[in-house]
Structure 1
Amino acid sequence: MSTYVVFDLEFTTWRGALEQDWEAPGQLREIVQIGAVRVTGSHEVVDSYEALVRPVVNPELSGHFTELTGIDQESVDREGLPPAEALGGFLEFCRGRTALSYGNDMVVVGENVGWARLRGEEVKPGFLDVAFLNIRPWINTLAPATAAANSGRLWQVLGLPRPAAGAEHSALFDSHSVAAAIRHLCATAAPLPPGCL
């Protein structure tokens, strides 16, 4: 059965970091949460991957990050995986498939894999078995009302039922929201772009 992956990330941030593109000294986009769903060619979710990740450079989460995502320091300290382990699990989940994100989250994955390797950590498997694609332009073109929406709000903007338990800025919930938008648009507007399956 042909499947693809939809994924989303939550990564370290501070008030104003988005507007400044994380240019302030010491502000890196370290992944704190990975969420991904595996989706069939008929656009049904059949599996999921979720991991909390312990940041290395900025191990203390900012209050802004916790307020935005609901992810607290205690949970990350208790349940967070080392970055290389979480990234390896995610890449294994995606192996041999196209991984779609609502934005350029693949760049953040690449940054985090690079930092792990610079620390001497091994990330297995690598990127070569995954084709990454930003699906946002396709969604925004077919449904212009989504252009100002983040991944976790797509289901609301499109008037769809809540796609899963949870709330926006939870990586797994946001992945379900994007998958619901894709399913809706494939049923009502156009097939997925070539290379997604």
Structure 2
Amino acid sequence: MFDLEFTSWSGALEQDWAGPGRLREIVQIGALRISTGRSAADYSVVEEYEALVRPVVNPRLSPFFTGLTGIDQETVDREGVAPAEAISDFLAFCKGQSVLSYGNDMVVLGENVGWARARGEEIKNSFLTAAFLNIRPWLNTIAPITASANSGRLWEALGLPKPMAGSEHSALFDCYSIAAAIGHLRAGGAALPEGCL
């Protein structure tokens, strides 16, 4: 499963990033590789992926974004990698896997692939080697109490222990929150959607 944090400004969500130059450029990618078996006890994290990405069109992070995610400009300038590099590495991590998101993060990923290619950058791996799936409709149907929760608050909506140190709007924390929710529902007898894990 994976989660993205991408450039944002006050009101961007409500306006669907429609303002001039207000692109959803990836700033952070988090992902978990999960081992699954027949029982819920077999559902465990076997590998993590995390990357910071330097946005190109809006290289200066907005105060709104930093306040929301805790990701500051100095850290992105120091540790961030080029979008094509991060996306290529992430798609390599996903190769041959079912890749779940809580929402349509794969659309944002696709936008960023397109922008990188339009700049003449090479994306070394393909979407076609992984099966991306939005798990939100399934999860909200099985557990309606989660319908108003973002990915980083699923654990809280379900009354589960906090999955790791950190907080929502950190891509890796949000992945652990999604994993905790799915594991909890599987332990309660819910079957995963067709083609999922």
**Shorter-chain-normalised TM-score: which range?**
over 0.9
Assess if the C-alpha contact under 8 Å between 1:95 and 1:129 holds in 2: yes
Q: Which residue of structure 2 aligns with residue 68 of structure 1?
A: 68
1:24-39 to structure 2, matched below 5 A, reads 24-39=19-34
Q: CA deviation at 1:189?
A: 3.8
After superposing on structure 2, the runs of 4+ consecutive aligned residues of structure 1 that deviate more than 4 Å are none
1:1-197 to structure 2, matched below 5 A, reads 6-41=1-36, 42-197=42-197
CA deviations 1:60-95 (Å, max 9, x no partner) are 000000000000000000000000000011101110
CA deviations 1:114-163 (Å, max 9, x no partner) are 10001111111111101100000011001101000000000011011111
**Unmatched runs of 5 consecutive residues or more in structure 1:** 1-5
TM-score, structure 1 normalization: 0.96
TM-score, structure 2 normalization: 0.96
Find the aligned partners of 1:136 and 1:66 in 2 and give their Cα distance: 26
Assess if the C-alpha contact under 8 Å between 1:43 and 1:182 holds in 2: no
- Structure 1: which amino acid aligns with 2:8? T
RMSD across aligned positions (CA): 0.7
Q: CA deviation at 1:50?
A: 0.2
SS in structure 1 at match of 2:122: coil
Q: Percent of aligned positions with the same letter in both sequences?
A: 71
Number of positions where the alignment pairs a residue of Structure 1 with one of Structure 2: 192
**Unmatched runs of 5 consecutive residues or more in structure 2:** 37-41
